[in-house]
Amino acid sequence: MNKILIAEDDEAIANLLYMNLKRAGYSCTVAPDGQKAADLMEAENFDLGIFDIMIPGPDGYELLSYASTMDLPVIFLTAKDKTMDKVTGLRAGAEDYITKPFEILELLARVEAVLRRRNKGKMFYTFQDLTMNVQSREVTKNGVPVELTCKEFDLLFLFLQNPNIALYRHVIYEKVWESEYLGDSRTVDLHVQRLRRKIGLEKEIVSVYKIGYRLTGEVK
């Protein structure tokens, strides 16, 4: 399980990050100021840091400098949204730069992307009797291989990355098909129906009225 350090003084944002990252299968620790974050980095090993730049005490840039000595990748999550702020943050060594307000699904996708780049990404997912190997793109059910199309695999991967989160149809389409959603939901609905039948999750992949679908349960 990847360990993430969240350095954020806004309690509501910190709780939002903690809750959603935990649901996505990460181990999270929250630091309300820069000094606490630095102390935690010294005491524990983390796989990723998500830092607010304007945090009390040592700011995000100072934390980034400290993290670089430990080879800890950092994503800046900040209200500083000017182009030069982003350029400065990335040039300073941040792996990514996300501005507030933000979409939680986008943040989760960027977290996964950074961890993959650093070869720390989650390679195995387990849900009930299903196991997914991301690297080999294999899915087994009770140890028996399940034949999925490329899109079905990508669709299941999206659900496993975002358990207990209602995914809008347009988000599903744009993530899995990697093209603009034009309002026709039949493609998404058909693939979800097929996936449910193939992996026996008719009750776990639930329809969310006027929104899309949600995978309900614990993903490990």
pLDDT, one tens digit per residue, over 65-116 is: 999 988 899 999 999 989 998 999 999 999 999 999 998 888 988 998 898 8
Distance CA 54, CA 77 (A): 10
75 SS3 class: strand
One domain, residues 104 and 202: no
For the chain, which ranges sit under pLDDT 70?
1, 119-121
Quote the pLDDT of residue 121. Answer: 64
Quote the pLDDT of residue 67. Answer: 93
Q: Which domain-ending residue is among 117, 142, 160?
A: 117
Residue 42 inside a domain? The answer is: yes
Q: Which domain-ending residue is among 80, 97, 117?
A: 117
Could you report how far apart the first and last alpha carbons of the chain are, in Å?
Answer: 8
Residue 19 inside a domain? The answer is: yes
DSSP, res 166: P
Say which CATH number the domain at 180 has.
1.10.10.10
Q: Which two tokens stand for residue 15?
A: 């709780």
One domain, residues 145 and 73: no
One domain, residues 156 and 109: no
Length of the chain equals 220
Q: Which domain-ending residue is among 117, 133, 161?
A: 117
Q: Which two tokens stand for residue 9?
A: 């003084």
One domain, residues 76 and 146: no
Amino acid found at 145: P
One domain, residues 108 and 30: yes
Quote the pLDDT of residue 95. Answer: 93
Say which CATH number the domain at 81 has.
3.40.50.2300
99 SS3 class: strand
Quote the pLDDT of residue 120. Answer: 63
One domain, residues 12 and 85: yes
Residue 220 inside a domain? The answer is: no
Contact by Cβ (8 Å): 152, 199: no
Distance CA 159, CA 164 (A): 9
* Domains: count for the chain: 2
**Which of 97-100's residues contact partners 24+ apart within 8 Å by CB, and which partners?**
100/13
Quote the pLDDT of residue 184. Answer: 76
Distance CA 54, CA 186 (A): 45
Question: How does pLDDT run across 145-155, given as a tens digit for each residue?
Answer: 999 999 999 99
pTM for the model: 0.62
One domain, residues 19 and 65: yes
One domain, residues 39 and 86: yes
One domain, residues 92 and 184: no
Q: Name the residue range of residue 162's domain.
A: 124-215
Sign of CA dihedral 175, 176, 182, 186: negative
